[in-house]
Structure 1
């Protein structure tokens, strides 16, 4: 459906799926949508394209099959333990927040760690009943990053956010729905239809009005987030330095 604009090295596909509606599809099947170099570059290129193209009014951000986004790669996490990089080296977490037009995160598949946090920064979030959603940072022994300590309480409420961040448990979408999260949670095969219908409703509005209203609605978040990111980086400097963290990443990654 629509016209492929650029295959972004085939791991990020940018497609017009309706008038004023642009879809960004993450499909790095080799890495299962972890933040590989190719996926990272593709996402940044895609959002930059959207930013510079004034015919678009709304973005649908989605994944492939049973994966939405899976967070950092094992190699990236190991580099963090060595102090050779920071998650802020590539600002994936606020791409949706800083996008001038509304973004719909159609999380039809699993959202893991930073991948789940990235999705929550969208203006609209749709989950699937069957998929797993987790902020699993603490399973590896290090504190959450990617703005997770800010966006989870903001979007899901402090009680559930603390539980998810501190325990690092896995939750099916239907479990989160039963906990009263404020997002639609649908069968996986219904998520995209819902997202396209929502996008079409948004795209009926004038772009200038959409941009102006989004600037107003998320202005406070855009101002507050950098301070939170600074604090998360400081916590990483402490927690990634623990020897057991490197061992956990080696043995537990992907489980």
Structure 2
């Protein structure tokens, strides 16, 4: 199969690079891969294309340069503050979890807030040693969303995930490596190469077996996610509409 390239909504590139492997690249440089309208629509379009292609065995998800994904935009957060929107309306964040085939997340660049959470829904994760990762929701004064309270402890371990969500601090990949996170952390320039090697190892397996195995391994997350979202939205009703939250959003984005 020759390489096929599609640019979805101008900022997400879909590439079928070899038998069974698709690369989905987030390239919204104007917004540093925040959850812009075009990025969300592009990701939904690309994962829909994966779903409809019975030849695909593996998805490799990545960003550009120093950015993997940066979370919600100022406009989105302010709309949640005023009640025009809630986090669950951004209903794309579990695309990697819902994808039938395995997803490898090449988090070569910074993963901030919802961007970190988005990457953590992948089945296999590679992070950059120099890059910054943060569950920074509380920095703005509101509690985490997008299923963060489920997926971060699952992927990073309970103690570290709780510390990250409560403190909202930035952590370099090298520090997370020292703290014992259970997946590869390598120099940023090597992340994509390592992720591609892992994708090729997966693509060597029968597609039916990969789908069956992923379904089995992720069933507990898919079962628990709806209730987690309901509980997170309850917390948002308590925490998101404080005047201090609006001030923090304006200040931190300003």
- State the TM-score bracket (shorter-chain normalisation): over 0.9
Equivalence map 1:72-221=2 (5 Å)? 72-221=72-221
Compute the TM-score of the two structures, normalised by the length of structure 2: 0.98
Q: Give 1:155 shift.
A: 0.9
Q: Give 1:246 shift.
A: 0.3
Distance 1:152 1:253 in 2: 24
Q: Are 1:20 and 2:40 an aligned pair?
A: no
What is the total number of aligned residue pairs between the two structures?
A: 253
What is the aligned partner in structure 2 of residue 52 from structure 1?
52
What is the aligned partner in structure 1 of residue 239 from structure 2?
239
Distance 2:87 2:139 in 1: 18
Unpaired runs of 5+ residues, structure 1, are: none
Distance 2:90 2:49 in 1: 17
Q: Give 1:89 shift.
A: 1.2
On the 8 A contact 2:4/2:17 being kept in 1, the answer is no
Where has structure 1 moved over 3 Å in runs of 4 or more? none
Deviations 1:178-223 (A, max 9, x none): 1010010000111111011111110011101110111111011101
Compute the TM-score of the two structures, normalised by the length of structure 1: 0.97
Equivalence map 1:60-79=2 (5 Å)? 60-79=60-79
Deviations 1:59-89 (A, max 9, x none): 0000000000000000000000000001111
Backbone CA RMSD of aligned residues: 1.0
On the 8 A contact 1:138/1:168 being kept in 2, the answer is yes
Q: Give 1:9 shift.
A: 2.6
